[in-house]
Amino acid sequence: MSYGLSNPNQAAQAPVCPRHPDRISYVTCQRCLRPACPECQVTAAVGTQCVDCVREANKQLPSTRTVFGGKATDGRPLVTYVLIAINVVVFALQMILRDFSDYVVYAGLYTSPYLEPEPWRMLTSTFAHSTTFIGHIAFNMYALYICGRVLEPMLGRLRFLALYLASGLGGSVAVLLITDPRVPVLGASGAVFGLFAAMFVLLRARGVQTMQIVILIAINLAIGFIIPGIAWEAHVGGLVVGAATAAVMAHAPKGKQQALMQWAGTALLVLLLCALTFYGAANIRL
């Protein structure tokens, strides 16, 4: 028994798939209303769509990458909150355990041959704060929160974290190279100044007015030089490294090589800081 068309003229009138004219299809796309054969059909929440409409819709989706190549997020500065939490926990431990600061403060002599080497203090000291002046941690955490809300969505979480840690390390390296290694130094100020510098560099790269940031940096740098007991060296070191890291992020060539260039440039900066740490430790003179 034959199951062909009862009317030969139906073959000419039957709808055919635009992408495959030899295939008759009675299913139409919900967007363009064109026929779509089984191979060209895509099941969607609003019904069946053709592959052409699905491809066009995907082109209109928001980018999964930030303007500087980082992975786009929902806008919440999660890394910023985690960093603030770590600083607060460390501060609480300093208050509860009176000798806790002795294990995390600025490396100084601990990077030298004079004492057992503990170079990790170059970084851990950036999460500790003065227990005699609550304003120390209060200002740094407020600045971290304000900057993080802007920078983390711009860079993506991993790049923002790398910027923060590199800036903090840069502050410690500046302290090691410039100041007396017997003086304990601690605080997130170096990292915070790195964020200040990064905001200037990244916003300038986007063509945004940055005079307010320049004034903010100038005032806080001046305070470090005027008020005794503040490690201005950490501020300068963090500022320089933060600016350099942000410049790498902002000016890496766009395209497939952007991430590679950004991470390679950041890694070179960190290696330079490590080399300067070894240099400073080897040249300590008491």
One-character DSSP codes across 176-217: HHHS-TTS----SHHHHHHHHHHHHHHHHHTT---HHHHHHH
Place of tokens 């100020």: 189
Looking at the annotation, which residues are catalytic? 189, 235
Largest CA distance in the chain: 106
Q: Is 261 exposed, middle or buried (0-12, 13-18, 19+ CB in 10 A)?
A: middle
CA–CA gap between residue 46 and residue 68 (Å, rounded): 34
How many angstroms separate the Cα of 54 from the Cα of each of 7, 16, 50, 58, 159? 35, 19, 6, 6, 32
